[in-house]
């Protein structure tokens, strides 16, 4: 298998853009990535587009994006893995380039949720748990309560995650929220699912992110700082991971373990992480699932400030899902955009000095009350 | 790149099953393929699921199908390329096995359209051509009219396609329609888009098809007749192909040409073809696009009976989309199921004697009035 590189990246600001179409949003991110990479877009050999596709947005979103950008004829594949749709598209591109089948691929993640109104992802008819209230906020509220019970994690520690990520978001012009929040504001914001108020939850929104991914031969032709994808792993959840222990995310543990093995890079080697903080408790327990600390110590890691922008291992410098936003299909690619900018030293006010290795983690979906979605972990390295 | 084989296949009858869920339908096809292949389903390393996913059916259809079948933890990817969704999933599996990344993959194509009611695929807000009536039946009606004008193709020749495919469907217990139709019935059935009456059009419906795809090492362990995938090509349409000449399907021509080159197998070597006869005229012009005859001679080929079940090159022995049915995501995989059965000599009353080489062709979508969808061509060979 061949080495795989990211040649260029781009994204849109995340926010609410109901007056645009999903293809308009995606095209902007794609053209930013094309410009950043310096390629002639006609050189793109294959494209993978990750999106969950909302009602009314039609099929073949990827073909329409590419057509609007003047690219036709090549293989184009739309992929959907709920919140991991974009990062699953990266996994595809990685695999096809790694295997030598293609040399230059475009990846786009996009979503437009603002067109949907309230109750945007209603449970399906046969999702008995969901229909009785076991939707994602209540699931993560239970995770939070159990983590508090088992490990003494406090609501203050959870709130610190939101405070940190919103603080980081202020430094990111692409973030949906660019305003610091206080513990009082978090506590007094509307309750969603006890103990999670709305400021413990990521927002819904719109946005897109894109990456141009290529072989070593291609990257060497361009005057860029090569960013290598040292590992690209996709896994699904298992029966073991869901109910047996709510405070553990089994699919993250297994996916990260394989990414560490493949790359020879461990959690101690990482200079930054973009992880899936869909709720404040998610960031806490993913510290543990990703091996940044022992099980139960996620809250303490937050207390110690180690994951702050100036800490030992900054987590979600972009603002994460909580502040940068979470347009489902866009998120996984946007995480890679942030890491690429950080590894290149182009992250502006939120730059982590001399960052060389970063990890992105995207995990999607509780299926019928079971943790059976899709999880991706990517490790990026400046060469 | 390594050789890739189909170890086992399975499908459901196509029809209307609104009382079932999409995952129920898919699981049946998948378990049939597992049984046919003789594998332990736990040996499956990766799964690709093609579907267009209708409103209310939720995300992560593939993860839910696999979960219901007891398979979790592995990489699972949902892919969407409109009518080519299932065959695009095969393309993925082929690529991942060909490259050596996996040895054993499951592919499922599934769709459930019966839950949607009438006007099932409404044009999007920004699809200006579609909103003015340029939906698929009217597009193909224009193709028919132009083909008649340019090449003297007759309505009788078009009707013969429907008559042939419905006749074949009578021999296929999995077909949605198993009843012969006459020229009079076709002529007097309700007009959809002049000159196409409803019996010139494929039905909507539900169904699933599945295949177990593997490396040579794996196939050799099983007591099966090895069916090799000699070519797997996915392409998208281009600006050149749509309006410039309505009577040509540019993406089919380019995709088939590459499949012929890769496999070293030409149209003259084929023992059967399953092609995308979404409308009777589609079969006629795809004879030409696939190189079975010269441009404009598709009608004559039909007249000569060469594509009948007992003809020189039988086309759509399964009944095709017109009679077997067209549950979007299922179709591309179901075509491969038919070809595998034919190459193994297991096609019952519709068996083509000593069939050794077959081609499947699936093409999806007119985007905003332009022929910009996704096209796949696969060539299968009995070894």
- Lowest model confidence (mean pLDDT) among A154-163, A352-361, B364-373: B364-373
User: End-to-end distance of chain B based on CA atoms, in angstroms?
Assistant: 18
Query: Which of B53, B57, B75, B242 is the best mutation test for A, with the most CBs of A within 10 A?
Result: B75
Mean pLDDT of B91-120: 91
> Which run of H or E residues covers position A159?
helix A155-169
| DSSP type of residue B93 | H
pLDDT of residue A368: 61
Handedness of CA B114, B115, B118, B123 (dihedral sign): negative
CB of B173 within 8 Å of a chain A CB? The answer is no
CB of A169 within 8 Å of a chain B CB? The answer is no
Catalytic annotation on B202?
Answer: no
Name the residue in chain A with its Cα closest to that of B368. A64
The answer to whether A85 and A207 have CB atoms below 8 angstroms apart is: no
pLDDT interval class at A220 (50, 70, 90): very high
Handedness of CA A335, A337, A341, A346 (dihedral sign): negative
Cβ-based contacts of A100 with chain B (< 8 Å): 1, 99
Mean pLDDT of A333-354: 98
Residue A138: half-sphere exposure toward Cβ, Cα within 13 Å: 10
The answer to whether A356 and A271 have CB atoms below 8 angstroms apart is: yes
Mean pLDDT of B165-188: 98
pLDDT interval class at A372 (50, 70, 90): confident
Calculate what percentage of chain B has a pLDDT beyond 70. 96
The answer to whether A359 and A273 have CB atoms below 8 angstroms apart is: yes
CB of A353 within 8 Å of a chain B CB? The answer is no
CA distance A252 to A285: 10
For residue A365, pLDDT beyond 90: no
For residue A241, pLDDT beyond 60: no
The answer to whether B220 and B371 have CB atoms below 8 angstroms apart is: no
The DSSP annotation for A297-334 comes to -HHHHHHTTTTSTTSSS-B-TT-HHHHT---HHHHHHH
Q: In terms of C-beta density within 10 A (0-12 exposed, 13-18 middle, 19 or more buried), how is residue A188 classed?
A: exposed
B126 to chain A, closest Cα gap in Å: 8
- Considering just the CA atoms, what is the radius of gyration of chain B in Å? 19
Mean pLDDT of A134-144: 91
Residue A142 CA, distance from chain mean position: 22
pLDDT of residue A1: 84
CB of B156 within 8 Å of a chain A CB? The answer is no
pLDDT interval class at B371 (50, 70, 90): low
pLDDT of residue B240: 55
For residue B68, pLDDT beyond 90: no
Between CA B267 and CA B274, with CA B270 as vertex, the angle to 5 degrees is 95
- Lowest model confidence (mean pLDDT) among A99-108, A211-220, B53-62, B228-237: B53-62
pTM, two decimals, is: 0.97
pLDDT interval class at A369 (50, 70, 90): low
- Residue A132's alpha-carbon distances to A124, A138, A139, B55, in angstroms, are 11, 11, 12, 21
CA dihedral B85, B87, B93, B94 (to 10 degrees): -150
Q: What is the pLDDT of chain B when averaged over all its residues?
A: 94
- Lowest model confidence (mean pLDDT) among A55-64, A331-340, B364-373: B364-373
pLDDT of residue B120: 62
pLDDT of residue B370: 64
pLDDT of residue A124: 78
Please pick, among B51, B166, B276, B326, the residue that the annotation labels catalytic.
B326
CB contact under 8 A, A63 and B236: yes
Mean pLDDT of B330-341: 98
The answer to whether B213 and B101 have CB atoms below 8 angstroms apart is: no
CB of A223 within 8 Å of a chain B CB? The answer is no
> Which run of H or E residues covers position A252?
helix A250-263
pLDDT (tens digit, 9 = 90+) per residue, A9-25? Answer: 999 999 999 999 999 99
Name the β-bridge partners of A190. Answer: none
For residue B241, pLDDT beyond 60: no
pLDDT (tens digit, 9 = 90+) per residue, A82-132? Answer: 999 999 999 999 999 999 999 999 999 999 999 887 666 677 777 888 888
The beta-carbon neighbor of B63 closest among A53, A64, A236 is A236
The answer to whether B68 and B27 have CB atoms below 8 angstroms apart is: yes
Between CA A218 and CA A223, with CA A222 as vertex, the angle to 5 degrees is 150
CA distance A33 to A9: 4
Name the residue in chain B with its Cα closest to that of A370. B67
Helices of type H across chain B = 22-37, 61-68, 85-98, 128-131, 136-151, 155-170, 183-188, 216-219, 250-263, 280-289, 298-303, 320-323, 328-344
CB contact under 8 A, B124 and A374: no
pLDDT (tens digit, 9 = 90+) per residue, B53-64? Answer: 887 888 899 999
CA distance B123 to B127: 6
Catalytic annotation on B326?
Answer: yes
pLDDT of residue B361: 98
For residue A237, pLDDT beyond 70: yes
Query: Which of B236, B242, B366, B376 is the best mutation test for A, with the most CBs of A within 10 A?
Result: B236
- Residue B261's alpha-carbon distances to A87, B245, B256, B267, in angstroms, are 33, 25, 9, 11
Please pick, among A51, A83, A201, A214, the residue that the annotation labels catalytic.
A83
Q: What is the pLDDT of chain A when averaged over all its residues?
A: 94
CB of B374 within 8 Å of a chain A CB? The answer is yes
Mean pLDDT of A200-218: 97
In this prediction the ipTM stands at 0.96
Q: In terms of C-beta density within 10 A (0-12 exposed, 13-18 middle, 19 or more buried), how is residue A167 classed?
A: middle
CB contact under 8 A, A80 and B75: no
Which residues does A178 contact at the CB level (< 8 Å), separation at least 6?
A: A169, A170, A172, A323
CB contact under 8 A, B88 and A79: no
CA distance A80 to A96: 17
């Amino acid at each position: 298998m061949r080495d795989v590189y990211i040649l260029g990246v781009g994204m849109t600001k995340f926010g609410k853009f109901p007056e645009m179409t999903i293809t308009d949003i995606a095209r902007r991110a794609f053209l930013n990535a094309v410009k950043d990479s310096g390629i002639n877009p006609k050189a793109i050999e294959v494209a993978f587009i990750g999106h969950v596709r909302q009602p009314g947005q039609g099929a073949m979103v990827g073909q329409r994006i590419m057509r609007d950008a003047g690219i036709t004829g090549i293989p184009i594949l739309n992929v959907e893995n709920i919140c991991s749709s974009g990062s699953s598209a990266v996994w595809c591109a990685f695999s096809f380039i790694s295997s030598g089948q293609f040399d230059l691929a475009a990846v786009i993640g996009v979503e437009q949720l603002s067109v949907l109104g309230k109750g945007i992802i209603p449970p399906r008819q046969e999702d008995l748990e969901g229909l009785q209230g076991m939707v994602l906020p209540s699931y993560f509220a239970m995770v939070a309560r159990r983590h508090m019970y088992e490990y003494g994690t406090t609501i203050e520690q959870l709130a610190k995650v939101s405070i940190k990520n919103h603080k980081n978001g202020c430094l990111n012009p692409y973030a949906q929220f660019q305003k610091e929040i206080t513990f009082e504001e978090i506590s007094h914001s509307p309750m969603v699912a006890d103990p999670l108020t709305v400021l413990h939850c990521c927002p819904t929104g719109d946005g897109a992110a894109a990456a141009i991914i290529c072989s070593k031969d291609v990257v060497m032709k361009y005057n860029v700082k090569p960013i290598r994808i040292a590992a690209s792993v996709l896994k699904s959840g298992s029966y073991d991971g869901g109910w047996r222990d709510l405070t553990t995310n089994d699919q993250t543990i297994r996916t990260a373990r394989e990414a560490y093995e493949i790359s020879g890079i461990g959690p101690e080697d990482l200079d930054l992480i973009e992880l899936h903080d869909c709720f404040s408790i998610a960031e806490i327990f993913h510290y543990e699932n990703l091996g940044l600390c022992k099980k139960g110590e996620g809250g303490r890691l937050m207390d110690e400030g180690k994951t702050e922008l100036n800490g030992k291992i900054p987590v979600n410098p972009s603002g994460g899902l909580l502040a940068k936003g979470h347009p489902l299909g866009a998120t996984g690619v946007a995480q890679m955009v942030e890491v690429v900018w950080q590894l290149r030293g182009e992250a502006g006010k939120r730059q982590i000095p001399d960052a060389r290795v970063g990890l992105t983690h995207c995990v999607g979906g509780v299926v019928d009350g079971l943790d059976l979605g899709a999880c991706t972990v990517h490790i990026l390295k400046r060469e």
